[in-house]
Chain A
Amino acid sequence: MLAIAEVTPAWYLVLGSLLFTIGAVGLRVRRNPLVMFMCVELMLNAVTLTFVTFSRMLEDVHGQTVVVFVLVVAAAEVVVGLGIMVALLRKEPEATADDLTVLKG
């Protein structure tokens, strides 16, 4: 029988690192810009979760204020990122991230 384990802050940390890993690996292995973008968001959220957890653990409200900043930056990033992506996909509907090599040295 399954004992209902108590949910400790460590669980949240584990969840955060799992989410972060999924995001990091996803960013590395996928070519679809939209998916890569979502992976970035996943990593950001993993970090936010970690901040909140530590904030609770250490009883320090600063961790939660950082979250607000991260949300604002993420929102701004979405605006720019999606803008680029729409422009790109409109030009070439099948484009992948590897097609964007304009910055090649």
Chain B
Amino acid sequence: MLDLVWLIPALPLAGFLILLVAGRRLGEPGAGWLATAASAGSFVVTVGVFLALLGEDHHHRSHVVTLFEWLPAGGFSVDVGFLADPLSITMALFVTGIGTLIHLYSIGYMHGDAGFSRFFVYLNLFIFSMLVLVLGDNLLLTFLGWEGVGTCSYFLISFWFTKDANASAGKKAFITNRIGDWGFMVAMFVTFAALGTLAYSGENGILEQAHDLAPVTATAIALLLFVGACGKSAQLPLFVWLPDAMAGPTPVSALIHAATMVTSGVYLMARVNPILAQSYDWAPTLIAWVGVATALFAATIAVAQTDIKKVLAYSTVSQLGYMFLAVGSGAYVAAVFHMVTHAFFKALMFLGSGSVIHGMGDEQDMRRMGGLRKLMPITAVTFIIGWLAIAGVPPFAGFWSKDEILLYAYDKSPALWAVGLLTALLTAFYMSRQVFMVFFGDERWGHADDAASADVAAAGVPAGEPAGDTGLTSEHAASVESGADPVSQEPAHGHEGAHAQPHESPWLMTLPLVVLAGLSIVGGGLNLPFTSDLHLLERWLEPVLEGNERVIDVATGTKVGLAVVAVIAGLLGIAAAVAVYLQKRVKPVEPQILAEGWRFDSSITAFAGGPGRAGFEAVSAFDKQVVDGAVNGVAHLTRGSGRGLRLVQTGFVRSYALGLTVGVVALLAYFLTRVSF
């Protein structure tokens, strides 16, 4: 079974190729079902490989299947090989598992869209690329997948490309990621220069050789890879693309921009943990601080967002920050643990928000929602489970993973823990705010727009679109224009009115919600802290980490105390949100600057347009005058001297003859005086 690892990425690839050729002919829903089947098949194979790996001896759980030599170039050789080990299979399991659920959901969500089959072409290509990233046995193959998921992300963000905002959001994501990719590429160059290989596993793999690296080289590689991870996983300062990436269809936000692709940076750091262990101590500390700073930064922004998907987007950035905090604290198990649980509950909430958007007739503004729990019971209940999970309420999944991260952070530095705790409080607050605005309180939909905004004003929420919101509302606009309305089969729910009566989504969409909700409840069981027998994930990942995991020495009492404090912080956040948004005892404080994301985007724009522009122009002038000047100057000099020297050539044979004669006489004189007879 282990030899079938290559089938895991091969099935989505086959699905992609078939859909590319025959997708349009298959149409709806055939194309969707085919794509789902490809992803589900991949999941089944992954489960098989997982079971086979479980059957192996604890320290032989690493299996490489090399298909062929990809780049033979002298001493540099790269194989197309897939590595099945606990880390990659964990990733592959949730990528294919959640991927399949989201494929299923998309059949319902994309119903009636003009680009239905195109959507599934991209989705299968994404699953393939992600699996190559995860299973690839060398840095270059990982990079291939890395670029593949980036490309799919670009395609899918600007899926409804007829709208300008969507197209530019796609470009923004692509270009921002390019900056990170630069780091990844340079890291590969350094790795090859230092170790002579890019392969992970094996005797001469980089993971085995990592302890021979000089600390300075290891630090350089680790930090350059971290630059790449910052781009892909949306950390400060390269997070700017992720909130805008919400321009894509909601299943894409759930799959790519919450559950899988954005976690690949965390996967990469966990994969190269021996290099991180070999680098200077300040490198992991830097990673931890960047992570926790991102977590807090994004959480503050999420507090003031009004777009249902933007809240989740900033929340994703924040949770990814947690994962990097874990990586930097040496808690790789906790990072992977949180990655998995986050994939469950964040995918759940994104799909839930998609269900709400779908049911509301393409409304994304939370100020025009409210009271939806009666009309969309399944969505509401599952969303609430996701909310409790992310808010860190025991016994839901998020509590266990977040608690473990905070424990390790506390062991590394109480300052990290304090910032993490503050973030946890804010997380509980903004997620509760979202739940209350969407599912509880007054029904603010069904009014004319004026009435709605008046109502909004009465609710104390600042009216007016935040500047950072680049027209992401009504994301189905393109599909509506093309006459393929997602809900047009139900005439009562037409889009002509301001807001139709919200309705629950079809079973195709609610089934994944229910499954993910179940996983969000029990996901914590992967790694319960009580006894070492329950550290399932830790023991499973142990061969990959080989003692690079931080060993913490914290008394049980302290552990319990920290957990209690974390729960109290979460409950405080929820209580605050109840007071502000449910009971309306306190007027909400949502400063405009937070709604605009600390003006991070507009600062970049202002910089690039103002002092930045001047700088760019100075560089351009330098290029024109100094660099080009040097080139042209040499040419001028050559031409000038040529013009002078050509005067020597008179064209008269006699003058040449004179020259010859004089030369001969001179030589003769020289030899006669020098050479004695």
Identify the A interface with B (CB < 8 A).
24, 27-28, 31, 36, 97-98, 100-105
B642 to chain A: closest residue by CB: A105
A105 to chain B: closest residue by CB: B646
Cβ–Cβ contact A100 & B654, under 8 A: no
Closest beta carbon of chain A to B658's beta carbon, Å? 6
Give Cα distance in the complex from A28 to B657, angstroms: 7
Give Cα distance in the complex from A31 to B657, angstroms: 12
B532 on interface, CB distance cutoff 8 Å = no
Q: Which of B600-658 contact A (CB under 8 A)?
A: 645-654, 657-658
A-B contact list, 18 entries, CB within 8 Å: A27-B654, A28-B654, A28-B661, A31-B654, A97-B652, A98-B652, A98-B654, A101-B650, A101-B651, A101-B652, A102-B651, A103-B649, A104-B649, A105-B646, A105-B647, A105-B648, A105-B649, A105-B650
- Chain B residue numbers with a CB within 8 Å of A102 are 651
- Chain A residue numbers with a CB within 8 Å of B661 are 24, 28
Cβ–Cβ contact B654 & A97, under 8 A: yes
- Chain B residue numbers with a CB within 8 Å of A24 are 661
Task: With A98-B653, A104-B649, A105-B646 given, name 20 new contacts (CB 8 A).
Answer: A24-B661, A27-B657, A28-B654, A28-B657, A28-B658, A28-B661, A97-B653, A97-B654, A100-B653, A101-B650, A101-B651, A102-B651, A103-B649, A103-B651, A104-B650, A105-B645, A105-B647, A105-B648, A105-B649, A105-B651
- Chain A residue numbers with a CB within 8 Å of B650 are 101, 104-105
**How would you classify the secondary structure of chain B's contact residues: helix, strand, loop or mixed?**
helix
Give Cα distance in the complex from A97 to B651, angstroms: 10
Give Cα distance in the complex from A102 to B653, angstroms: 11
Q: Which of B207-232 contact A (CB under 8 A)?
A: none
Identify the B interface with A (CB < 8 A).
645-654, 657-658, 661
- Given A24-B661, A28-B661, is A104 in contact with B654 using a C-beta cutoff of 8 Å? no
Closest beta carbon of chain B to A95's beta carbon, Å? 12
- Chain A residue numbers with a CB within 8 Å of B651 are 100-105
Give Cα distance in the complex from A73 to B651, angstroms: 25
Give Cα distance in the complex from A101 to B646, angstroms: 13
- Chain A residue numbers with a CB within 8 Å of B653 are 36, 97-98, 100
- Chain A residue numbers with a CB within 8 Å of B658 are 28
- Chain A residue numbers with a CB within 8 Å of B649 are 103-105
- Listed residue (B648, B651, B653, B654) with the most chain A CB atoms within 10 angstroms of its CB: B653
Give Cα distance in the complex from A40 to B652, angstroms: 16
Give Cα distance in the complex from A100 to B651, angstroms: 7
B656 to chain A: closest residue by CB: A103
Closest beta carbon of chain B to A71's beta carbon, Å? 22
Closest beta carbon of chain B to A44's beta carbon, Å? 14
Give Cα distance in the complex from A105 to B657, angstroms: 17
A103 to chain B: closest residue by CB: B651
Give Cα distance in the complex from A36 to B657, angstroms: 11
- Listed residue (A24, A31, A97, A105) with the most chain B CB atoms within 10 angstroms of its CB: A105
B653 to chain A: closest residue by CB: A97
- Chain A residue numbers with a CB within 8 Å of B657 are 27-28
- Chain A residue numbers with a CB within 8 Å of B648 are 105
Give Cα distance in the complex from A102 to B650, angstroms: 9
Nearest 4 A/B pairs, CB to CB: A105-B646, A101-B651, A104-B651, A105-B649
Give Cα distance in the complex from A36 to B425, angstroms: 107
Closest beta carbon of chain B to A21's beta carbon, Å? 11
A33 to chain B: closest residue by CB: B653
B657 to chain A: closest residue by CB: A27
Give Cα distance in the complex from A24 to B646, angstroms: 26
- Chain B residue numbers with a CB within 8 Å of A100 are 651, 653
- Chain A residue numbers with a CB within 8 Å of B652 are 97-98, 101
Give Cα distance in the complex from A38 to B231, angstroms: 84
Give Cα distance in the complex from A28 to B652, angstroms: 11
- Chain B residue numbers with a CB within 8 Å of A97 are 652-654
Closest beta carbon of chain A to B644's beta carbon, Å? 10
Give Cα distance in the complex from A61 to B643, angstroms: 49
Closest beta carbon of chain A to B16's beta carbon, Å? 68
Give Cα distance in the complex from A28 to B645, angstroms: 23
- Chain A residue numbers with a CB within 8 Å of B645 are 105
- Chain B residue numbers with a CB within 8 Å of A101 are 650-652
B648 to chain A: closest residue by CB: A105
Closest beta carbon of chain B to A88's beta carbon, Å? 12
- Chain B residue numbers with a CB within 8 Å of A104 are 649-651
Give Cα distance in the complex from A31 to B653, angstroms: 9
B645 to chain A: closest residue by CB: A105
Give Cα distance in the complex from A5 to B648, angstroms: 50
- Chain B residue numbers with a CB within 8 Å of A105 are 645-651
Closest beta carbon of chain B to A59's beta carbon, Å? 18
Closest beta carbon of chain A to B662's beta carbon, Å? 11
Give Cα distance in the complex from A28 to B649, angstroms: 17
- Chain B residue numbers with a CB within 8 Å of A27 are 654, 657
Closest beta carbon of chain A to B642's beta carbon, Å? 9
Give Cα distance in the complex from A103 to B646, angstroms: 10
Give Cα distance in the complex from A21 to B645, angstroms: 31
Closest beta carbon of chain A to B69's beta carbon, Å? 60
Give Cα distance in the complex from A101 to B653, angstroms: 8
Give Cα distance in the complex from A20 to B333, angstroms: 99
Closest beta carbon of chain A to B646's beta carbon, Å? 3
- Chain B residue numbers with a CB within 8 Å of A103 are 649, 651
Give Cα distance in the complex from A101 to B648, angstroms: 13
Give Cα distance in the complex from A31 to B234, angstroms: 87
Give Cα distance in the complex from A24 to B654, angstroms: 11
Give Cα distance in the complex from A28 to B664, angstroms: 14
Closest beta carbon of chain A to B215's beta carbon, Å? 65
- Chain B residue numbers with a CB within 8 Å of A36 are 653
- Chain B residue numbers with a CB within 8 Å of A28 are 654, 657-658, 661
Give Cα distance in the complex from A6 to B629, angstroms: 75
